[in-house]
Amino acid sequence: MIQIEQMSKKKGSTVILDDFSLEIEPGRVTALLGPSGSGKTTLLRLLAGLDVPDQGGVEGLPENGPAFVFQDHRVIPWLNVEENVAFALPEDWTEARRRMAIEESLSLTRLSALRLRRPGALSGGQAGRIDLARALATGRRLMLLDEPFKGLDLELKLDLIADFGNIMSHSEMTAVLVTHDLDEALLTADTIVVVSGPPLRIVERLEVSLERKGRAIFDPALYALRQRLYNLLVSSR
């Protein structure tokens, strides 16, 4: 269990987090759903160790830290797909371990056949898979995703979401995903934490009982939860 305990953070005169606490269950996808500017990304950066809280802390983080998938694709344009994935791996890994990690991550993200292509020759969805493959290859137990599907058209977004769901179903990783998109949260998460802010606060925590695989935007089984989430987002503005 990852426990965020009484965390506070200010930026200038703005209080981003004020005594914020949250439990994140292992082996599951937790989505932080709320408006832009509410403090979600700041929380993610604090979890990643990219920023330091003014008060409070986090218990239960993996010793080797998390893998981070950013909003904008962090691919290296002059490297091919395989080289981009390999770039994130520790230098002290043996060649056999590196090869196994690369092959497994490329297979899970459906990039094996594209391994020799450079990012400029890929679609937006395929480039997004490089970020996921790189995060998987590191073997870390926690993945942090900051609006990873932002800016994609609907078809590419749904394709990448399906890939993410498949990856998580074959993995024991814990994932925390930040989004302001209701449908992204519904299609990807086991737990949805609706938030508002700043300062960041929890409006409600909801569990999604439906299996991730095969979920669809207009699935009747998700209708009541979708309506509940919509009402929470509107009322918490």
The backbone region for 147, taken as left when phi is positive above 0, alpha when psi lies in -120 to 50, beta otherwise, is left
Q: Which of the pair, 176 or 159, is modelled with greater confidence?
A: 176
Higher pLDDT residue, 15 or 154? Answer: 15
Structure tokens at 6: 């009484």
- CATH assignment at residue 166: 3.40.50.300
Q: What is the mean pLDDT of residues 207-216?
A: 83
> 111-127, pLDDT tens digit by residue?
999 999 998 898 777 88
Report pLDDT digits (tens) over 126-156.
Answer: 888 898 899 999 989 999 999 988 877 888 8
Per the structure, the complete domain to which residue 28 belongs is given by: 2-235
Number of structural domains found in the chain: 1
